[in-house]
């Protein structure tokens, strides 16, 4: 994967397979601290301690269609390449919290990529799941919460083409306002 947004999409899809009903994605660009932090938090099934120890092994997967599980190992490798780290906290029945820290200015830090495309794709494919996307930079923040959007829709599904276009444009405008990486 060449962009961090693709890693985020992959990890969020893991959350969906783990029966999450709420997925939070938080990105913090700390220019003065020279860090980029990505957190993905879900309320899914979580993992037991045995699975948690194995999940960073690229040859371990719970998927039936392939014999490797590259999502978390590739994200960890991307973080380490940029003088960063990945931490994983999970508890069976309570969900999972993935936090990845990167040295923001590191030459090997992958670009963030299009978060508007990533979030819109997640919502389009999973209209019954709620997503909270927060992006912070320089003391300013942008937030999208599908629960709030859902309240305004009066029964129109999140997967409606006009709603998805609104979500994509809302994210793009919000990120421009806070001068976030896009």
The end-to-end CA distance of the chain, in Å, is 16
Q: What is the pLDDT, as a whole number, of residue 75?
A: 93
Which DSSP state fits 129? S
Identify the residue whose tokens are 């389009």.
124
Q: Is residue 128 part of a domain?
A: yes
> How many Cα atoms within 13 Å fall on the side-chain side of residue 101?
9
Q: Is residue 48 part of a domain?
A: yes
For residue 79, the domain's CATH number is: 3.30.565.10
Identify any residues that bridge with 91 across adjacent strands, giving them in sequence order.
95
Q: What is the pLDDT, as a whole number, of residue 61?
A: 55
Task: Give φ, ψ of 91 to 5 degrees.
Answer: -145, 130
Q: Is residue 94 part of a domain?
A: yes
Q: Is residue 182 part of a domain?
A: no
Q: Is residue 87 part of a domain?
A: yes
Q: What is the pLDDT, as a whole number, of residue 52?
A: 67
| Domain that residue 128 falls in | 4-177
Total domains in the fold of the chain = 1
Averaged in consecutive runs of 10 residues, what is the pLDDT profile of the chain (182 residues)? 92 94 98 97 90 64 47 91 96 95 97 97 97 96 97 94 98 96 79
Q: Is residue 148 part of a domain?
A: yes
Q: What is the pLDDT, as a whole number, of residue 70?
A: 59
Beta strand pairing status for 35-42 and 85-91?
A: unpaired
Let me know if 63 is exposed, middle or buried by CB neighbors in 10 A (0-12, 13-18, 19+): exposed
């Amino acid at each position: 994967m060449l962009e961090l947004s693709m890693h985020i999409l992959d990890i969020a899809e893991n959350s969906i397979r783990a029966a999450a009903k709420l997925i939070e994605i938080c990105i913090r660009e700390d220019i003065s601290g020279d860090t980029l932090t990505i957190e993905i938090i879900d309320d899914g099934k979580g993992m037991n301690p045995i699975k948690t120890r194995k999940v960073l092994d690229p040859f371990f997967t719970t998927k039936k269609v392939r014999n490797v599980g590259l999502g978390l190992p590739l994200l960890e490798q991307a973080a380490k390449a940029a003088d960063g780290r990945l931490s994983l906290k999970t508890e069976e029945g309570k969900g999972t919290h993935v936090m990845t820290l990167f040295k923001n200015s590191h030459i090997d830090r992958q670009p963030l990529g299009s978060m508007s495309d990533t979030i819109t794709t997640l919502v389009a494919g999973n209209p019954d799941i709620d997503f909270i996307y927060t992006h912070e930079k320089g003391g300013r923040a942008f937030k999208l919460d599908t629960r709030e959007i859902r309240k305004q829709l009066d029964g129109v599904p999140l997967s409606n083409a006009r709603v998805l276009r609104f979500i994509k444009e809302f994210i793009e405008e919000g990120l421009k306002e806070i001068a976030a990486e896009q």
